[in-house]
Amino acid sequence: MSASESAGGEITSLGNDVLLAFIPLAENPEWTEKLAKKFKGLQIRWVKSITPEHTIVKPDDLPAETWDGVTLLYTFLPPRIELIPKVRFVQLTSAGADKWPGHPKYQDESVVFCTSNGSHAPQIAEWVIGAWLSHEHGFRRYAENMKTAHWESPFASNARDSTAQRVGILGYGAIGRQCARLASALGMEIYAYTRSERSSPKSRKDDSYCVPGTGDPDGLLPSKWFHGAAREAVNDFLAQDLDLLIISLPLTEETRHIISHEQLALLGKKKAFVANIARGGHINQDALIQALESGQIRGAALDVTDPEPLPADHPLWKAPNLLLTPHVSWKTDSLGKRLLDILEQNLEKLATGQPLINVVNRKLHY
């Protein structure tokens, strides 16, 4: 752990606060020094939440003095309430807050929670479109051929380009919007699904953190919008002859197993490809395995499973036409800069009484 305390600075309203950055990044001394100068009196502590062996550091693993007096917290995992009695602001490194419901601090409406939604969108969208293109052009087949030095006849396999294929994006937030941007560049038709209706141009705008030059800030890319919380509304969306379904919505009790036997049957009309980069609980995995084994859908790509890590004997490992990665789509060397940028923006807004970005809706948990 390292600590820094300002002797100067421009903003004084955080002068009695202690910030703990408990995040999967090594400390950035330049950023820490800049923050200390900007916020007079703010004490900054930084603990990397990943060990040299690439395992997660739990909140209880930290020395008690690390938590002493902390009022501002940047974290992913929820610490016990006994460790953070004075915390009044929580910035999450994740795009959702599904780890926090039930926590006393989360239930305290006076404590502000914000996510890092938007910081993960560019890299996750690339993972999605990369998996899609790999499947449509048979890259995995050719990778296997390389192992045996087999030069396959170019007439022995088929490939499909993306032009005029239809992508349905289930959850049109920051990640979904960047997926739409990339898919649009490939000539795909975009259908968007949101929980609430987005009937006006104003309602279709994105108010979350956005990396410049990315996403769909004004909501102009979808040719058709769908909405609703009921399964009937979701089914109507899935019945739109989709070639690619991207699952990019938060996990709540409402969205758990939002894709199951009935929904996969609807996607079977065009033998859609299913990409899930949200949470493993969105898909009934037994139903997905059946759909893959029977050829009901053309393939799938999962960066998330239920549970995680996925047991070695789980049948998903052997499902055909499936790409499975260990929850890594969020990773990029650029993430650290974005996470610190969101935190700095929100600290300044908190200090000056401005509306914060990515404030969590406590009912929807995102």
137-179 per-position pLDDT tens digit: 999 999 999 999 999 999 999 999 999 999 999 999 999 999 9
pLDDT at 344: 97
pLDDT at 363: 84
pTM here?
A: 0.93
Tens digits of per-residue pLDDT, 31-64?
999 999 999 999 999 999 999 999 999 999 999 9
Per cent of the chain over pLDDT 70 is 97
Per cent of the chain over pLDDT 90 is 94
Answer whether residue 1 shows pLDDT above 80.
Answer: no
How would residue 365 be classed by pLDDT, with cut points 50, 70 and 90?
confident
pLDDT at 163: 98
The CATH number of the structural domain formed by 2-119+332-352 is 3.40.50.720
pLDDT at 364: 83
Fold match, 2-119+332-352 / 121-324 = yes
Residue type, 225: W
Q: Where does residue 353 fall: left (phi above 0), alpha (psi -120 to 50 degrees), or beta otherwise?
A: left
Answer whether residue 66 shows pLDDT above 90.
Answer: yes
Answer whether residue 322 shows pLDDT above 50.
Answer: yes
Contact of 4 with 318, CB cutoff 8 Å = no
Q: How far is CA 163 from the centre of its chain?
A: 26
Tens digits of per-residue pLDDT, 201-258?
999 999 999 999 999 999 999 999 999 999 999 999 999 999 999 999 999 999 999 9
Tens digits of per-residue pLDDT, 82-103?
999 999 999 999 998 989 999 9
Answer whether residue 268 shows pLDDT above 50.
Answer: yes
Answer whether residue 10 shows pLDDT above 90.
Answer: no
pLDDT at 177: 98
Answer whether residue 2 shows pLDDT above 80.
Answer: no
Average pLDDT of the segment spanning 13-40: 95
Q: Where in the chain are the domains?
A: 2-119+332-352, 121-324
The whole-chain average pLDDT of the chain stands at: 95
Answer whether residue 8 shows pLDDT above 50.
Answer: no
How would residue 6 be classed by pLDDT, with cut points 50, 70 and 90?
very low
How would residue 11 be classed by pLDDT, with cut points 50, 70 and 90?
confident
Superfamily designation of domain 121-324: NAD(P)-binding Rossmann-like Domain (3.40.50.720)
| Residues labelled catalytic | 279, 327
Tens digits of per-residue pLDDT, 270-311?
999 999 999 999 999 999 999 999 999 999 999 999 999 999
pLDDT at 42: 96
Tens digits of per-residue pLDDT, 131-144?
999 999 999 999 99
Average pLDDT of the segment spanning 327-335: 97
CA nearest neighbour of 328 among 123, 130, 134:
123
pLDDT at 235: 98
Answer whether residue 79 shows pLDDT above 80.
Answer: yes
d(CA 38, CA 60): 31
